[in-house]
Chains A and B, each alone.
Chain A
């Protein structure tokens, strides 16, 4: 059974805050839920499915469904880090297609900026995580577990720091039009290379922002979407995958997108060349480059050349990406950027992106997420959507 055109994204909301020391995480979830339901033109009592992940306070959906006043008949707390929210859209479409719910609400929120989170701090993991005793002594932190993939990519394919920097330049070019973006100044390749080296070969400007905030999505049955006033965005296909260390046959030359991408394209019945706009998870510049290759937008190993010279800039390049400024410049709420990837894709499909970055007649878009650590173990999710 396919989810192709069996569900629609009817509501999308990105919280405008980037720093919220005066609000609880639960409140931010509620504000995002309100924003997405208002956007869709639906009410709280219409919601019968609820999706959240590890950023939601409490035990799975128990605390937040109660806090929000929901009475869901379908819940899902799949957690694959920042990619979870793309999986939630796929799972919501599956649930809607099989009659398990009609109106699914997905929420994300967090305050890592107010709480002093950092990409060079050890990641918090649950007790008993089986890899920890074997790896913690070596001080893996978020940034170096992406840097290892970048270093190997450079070794294998000759990718350069200048090429990676173009990804940041493209994101910053877009962010200048987003009044809510955390970083709105344009940057040059030289600016990226001159920024402090955090973990070779990744500079500070190769890294995403740490921001407070959140987002929410409402996924509904197609008949409901057509009864609402907003443009109809169909879910066409979704793919998911977990990639780890392959039992010790570590291969850092590809990401889980090499597995999730083909699954999504097959379900959607489209090809990479058909995609007009792509939201590509940008925790770090290398994350973008590897996913672009793995999704088939260019040949493996040629991502460096593909992203250079503005090829990701809307109106200039072949693959307009992250027109909100992405995680590199706009927002990475709760250190989980998956939901904002879907939100900007929905804006593009509705024709509601900023006019300076709107892709003309955008009718087919992709969102891609990588959650966890690119260099050790991560969840990948690919979502393909169309304007009906």
Chain B
């Protein structure tokens, strides 16, 4: 995959997730960051920092992005969420508009 087609998401602890740009665009917030006109650092470097989101949650979010793409293309599987993650994940999802 070419570098332009990926985006790097960085968690609070500094952990980096490199994922498909299409998947990341599931989040309205990230989509806005990456597509907004002007020279934002995010648009240029293709990386977004989330100082509020822990590694565990960001990993789950990335899984969700891919699941969501699959779901939209008609593959109906269940997305399992461990109950102990729900509160933090909910807040992250709310922030990311996903």
**Do A and B form a real pair?**
no
